Structure 1
Amino acid sequence: MHAITLAVADLERSAAFYTALFGSEGSGIIGTEYAPTDTVAGGATAMFTLDDGLIVSVYGRDDMRKDSSVELGTDPSATIGHFVESRADADAFLERARAAGATMLEPPYTRPWGMYSGFFQDPDGHLWEVVANPGMGAPSDATPE
């Protein structure tokens, strides 16, 4: 997988949220010269390339609907997973999400099998899980409490 494109209600708001979350300006909002019509999607988007090369892009919901010819639901039906090396890294990422304006869900916790994780939703309700998992082979200080 090389890219994840998230349909968003407000492109400027989402670009600001992900800039704060990732600590990167990314591409900024690009493609505004390609204006939408009643039947054709516009080209405005913002893209963020993560350390592992994955691109997270945000794209207007109406444009995504026009591009795909699919009515988009509003409830999250998938989780975007972000794996980090330690419990401290997970807590720091969750704090950046909170500071950027995420809706924080239940507090993070350590599961019986040792995985420490927490959930939040971005301004459009996309569900994120931040995970420190000692079983994934990365160094971790996640230990059962």
Structure 2
Amino acid sequence: MQPRISVITLGVEDLDRAVAFYRDGLGLPTDGIVGREFDNGAVAFFDMQCGLKLSLWPRSSLAADTGLPPRAGGPFEFTLGHNVVSKAEVDEVLQRATKAGATLVKGAQDTFYGGYAGYFMDPDDHLWEVVFNPQMMPKD
């Protein structure tokens, strides 16, 4: 299989709240919620880098689409890593996230690999790591 991952979808309880958190709180670019005219179609896409999209879709819609029973997620399903270019930016992003309604899980601190990182959970309990790693600097 040739890797072609282009969308990461997070299941959310309240789409409007989740969009406000990511758009207004974190400042991610989006055209807002689309597909409201379709049953289970309301979704929001956020432009990330290199063509990658972050998608927010109600958990009930994911359940309807997959045929699986609806269930709440948990912070240990996976983490999303957001790499930044400095320790100061780690602190800034964590502060912005908590101001927008995120829960600070672990304050930023020096890491065993020579970096600096901390964790927050978004309003739907998705776990984000904000990290400055000198060995994995973002290209932009």
TM-score w.r.t. the length of structure 1 is 0.84
Q: 1:31–1:45: 8 Å Cα contact kept in structure 2?
A: yes
1-structure distance, mates of 2:51, 2:62? 23
Aligned residues: 133
Selected match of 1:43 from 41, 52, 55? 41
Asked if 1:74 corresponds to 2:78, the answer is no
Which structure's residues are more often strand, by fraction? 2
Report the residue type matching 2:73 in the other structure. T
Aligned to 1:39: none
CA deviation after TM superposition for structure 1 residue 138, in Å: 5.2
CA deviation after TM superposition for structure 1 residue 108, in Å: 0.9
Selected match of 1:55 from 33, 48, 53? 53
CA deviation after TM superposition for structure 1 residue 91, in Å: 1.2
2-structure distance, mates of 1:54, 1:2? 5
Q: Identical aligned pairs, as a percentage? A: 41
2-structure distance, mates of 1:69, 1:95? 38
1-structure distance, mates of 2:138, 2:27? 23
Aligned to 2:12: 8
The runs of at least 4 aligned residues of structure 1 exceeding 3 Å deviation read none
CA deviation after TM superposition for structure 1 residue 129, in Å: 0.4
Asked if 1:114 corresponds to 2:114, the answer is yes
User: SS of the counterpart of 1:101?
Assistant: coil
Gaps of 5+ in 1: 36-41, 140-145
Aligned to 1:101: 101
User: SS of the counterpart of 1:23?
Assistant: coil
2-structure distance, mates of 1:7, 1:31? 16
Larger Rg: 1
User: SS of the counterpart of 2:135?
Assistant: helix
Aligned to 2:22: 18
1-structure distance, mates of 2:94, 2:50? 19
Aligned to 1:28: 32
Q: 1:5 to 1:84 in 2, by over 3 A?
A: same
User: SS of the counterpart of 2:90?
Assistant: helix
Report the residue type matching 1:94 in the other structure. L
User: SS of the counterpart of 2:112?
Assistant: coil
